[in-house]
Structure 1
Amino acid sequence: MTTLDTLPQQFIEADKVFNLRDVGGWEAADGKKVRTGRVFRSDNLGMVTEADVDLLVNRLGVRHVIDLRRAEEWDVAGRFPETAGVEFHHFELLHVKWENIGREYPSGPDAVTFLRQRYSGMYEAGYQAVRDSLDVIARGEPVIFHCMAGKDRTGLVAAALLSVLGVDETDIAREYELSNFGIARWRAWRDANIGKPATESGLTTPAEAMLETLAEMNARFGSMRDYVAATGFDQADALREQLLH
């Protein structure tokens, strides 16, 4: 069983947030590194305890919360509470609902193709959320962005951000793959507190899915940086100035 002691160093312990981690620390372009303590990603923040809010706001210094979900998801899972000193942003990352596709979530190698198809479509349909999230991050104040499991919509914003910062695609895929640890932690909590479901939904983040997504976006746009520019984001220099050292 995964414990805090065995988690990768990017993870941050919290009561009711299971996929919370620092996006920084990766090697970037020109021998620089992505700053830590500035940008965080997570799963749903609708269950946060007072201790979790204290962790995010007072210890990590978060000043912006970006929620990438549909507002209807708040009815089921809640949202981050109004908190003094924290600006809440709702940037729904538009996409066709996966449950409406009429296909079961595949397992094994088929999951890579399924995710690549979903992700590349999400990048196109949800480009405004990607652009708006990067605009907030470029302000330079500590920020956290999230969706439900913190793997898909959140993973796409993280990949776009790290691409602009010049992080190697292999490391972007490694960063994405870390969500497997967060998902395992959430499942352990769910099984102990809610009960294990009869059938397990397909929650996984194989690095190959992100690598194939990046390859497809490169083919469509020339590069991920070109894709980000096509969204209308024009603060790439400021973003690199803020987050690289």
Structure 2
Amino acid sequence: MTIETLPRQFHDAEKIFNLRDVGGWAADGGRTVRTGRVFRSDNVGRPTEADLDLLVNRLGIRHVIDLRRAEEWEVAGRFPEVEGVEFHHFELLHVRWENIGRPYPEGAATVPFLRQRYSGMLESGYQAVRDSLDVIAGGEPVLFHCMAGKDRTGLVAASLLSVLGVGEEDIAADYALSNHGIARWKRWRDEHLGKPATESGLTTPAEAMLETLAEMRERFGSMGEYVTATGFDRAEELRELLLD
């Protein structure tokens, strides 16, 4: 899959497979989320020189937010020290999925499993959501990421887009775009590391995000009210910054 065949949000990198712009979505009042300001991705712990040039020089990223556990750096690295780029570690706290005691479900059971995990992660990891939005509200170009760029990253993106007034269907569509990034990573993995005998947990069905948003409405009234409950109080500032 080449950059020409990917959705417009994606940027082509050598060893970052799910890198894309969070902007471009329609928001309330006929406005549009500004592009070129906020980016999301999978792991950026081992970028090539070309990747760093893309992130720092071409996209102009000045803040990198890592939502992972620090111990994940031992396996996949962390963003290198680069002059002019500030690194932030905001671990999005949650119960580790591997400790839940049951295998990752397949088929129809995937959506309720993800909705349960995601709503729990939004509650336990609220500080990472708040702190990430606070950095974004600072006004400089930001990249936030986790490992695959779909779960923890997807929840921060959903929180941001909700504050900006993007509709739930589009928030779910943004989340589902990770399927393209995961497909790119799988092809690279199979070619360079070998295809595993089995794999699971690498899908982002839009329904999982829609159900998560519905549950957060039930718990908090709306995702916007959830974000307020985290202690984030710069919503108007964020809208002025990121809406055209």
Q: TM-score, normalized by length of structure 2? A: 0.99
Q: Distance in 1 between matches of 2:2 and 2:84?
A: 32
Q: Distance in 1 between matches of 2:163 and 2:34?
A: 14
2:56 alignment counterpart: 57
1:48-127 aligned at under 5 Å gives the runs 48-127=47-126
Q: Which amino acid aligns with 1:195?
A: G
1:205 alignment counterpart: 204
Q: Distance in 1 between matches of 2:190 and 2:101?
A: 27
Q: Which amino acid aligns with 2:112?
A: T
DSSP-derived class of the 1:85 partner: coil
Q: Which amino acid aligns with 1:242?
A: L
User: Displaced runs of 4+ in structure 1, greater than 4 A?
Assistant: none
1:219 alignment counterpart: 218
Q: Distance in 2 between matches of 1:58 and 1:15?
A: 16
DSSP-derived class of the 1:109 partner: helix
1:14 alignment counterpart: 13
Q: Distance in 1 between matches of 2:192 and 2:88?
A: 30
DSSP-derived class of the 2:197 partner: coil
Q: Which amino acid aligns with 2:98?
A: E
DSSP-derived class of the 1:129 partner: helix
Q: Distance in 2 between matches of 1:172 and 1:24?
A: 11
Q: Which amino acid aligns with 2:86?
A: E
Question: Which stretch of structure 1 is more off in the superposition, 102-111 or 58-67?
Answer: 102-111
Mind listing any 5+ residue stretches in structure 2 that lack a counterpart? Answer: none
Question: Which stretch of structure 1 is more off in the superposition, 179-188 or 104-113?
Answer: 104-113
Q: How far did residue 141 of structure 1 move? A: 0.5
Q: Which amino acid aligns with 1:32?
A: R
1:238 alignment counterpart: 237
DSSP-derived class of the 2:107 partner: coil
Q: Distance in 2 between matches of 1:88 and 1:47?
A: 15
Q: Distance in 2 between matches of 1:27 and 1:103?
A: 39
DSSP-derived class of the 1:53 partner: helix
Q: How far did residue 60 of structure 1 move? A: 0.3
Q: How far did residue 161 of structure 1 move? A: 0.1
Q: Which amino acid aligns with 1:88?
A: F
Question: Which stretch of structure 1 is more off in the superposition, 11-20 or 45-54?
Answer: 45-54
Q: Which amino acid aligns with 1:74?
A: W
2:166 is aligned with 1:167: yes
Q: Distance in 1 between matches of 2:220 and 2:174?
A: 22
Mind listing any 5+ residue stretches in structure 1 that lack a counterpart? Answer: none
Q: Which amino acid aligns with 1:240?
A: R
Q: Which amino acid aligns with 1:53?
A: L
Structure 1 vs Structure 2: percent identity of aligned residues? 78
Q: CA RMSD in A?
A: 0.6
Q: How far did residue 202 of structure 1 move? A: 2.1
Q: Which amino acid aligns with 1:192?
A: E
1:187 alignment counterpart: 186
Q: Which amino acid aligns with 1:33?
A: T
Could you list the per-position Cα deviations for residues 36-70 of structure 1 after superposition, in whole angstroms to 9, with x for gaps in the alignment?
Answer: 00000000001201111111000000000000000
Could you list the per-position Cα deviations for residues 119-155 of structure 1 after superposition, in whole angstroms to 9, with x for gaps in the alignment?
Answer: 0000000000000000000011000000000000000
Q: TM-score, normalized by length of structure 1? A: 0.99
Could you list the per-position Cα deviations for residues 66-115 of structure 1 after superposition, in whole angstroms to 9, with x for gaps in the alignment?
Answer: 00000000000000000000000000000000000011111111100000
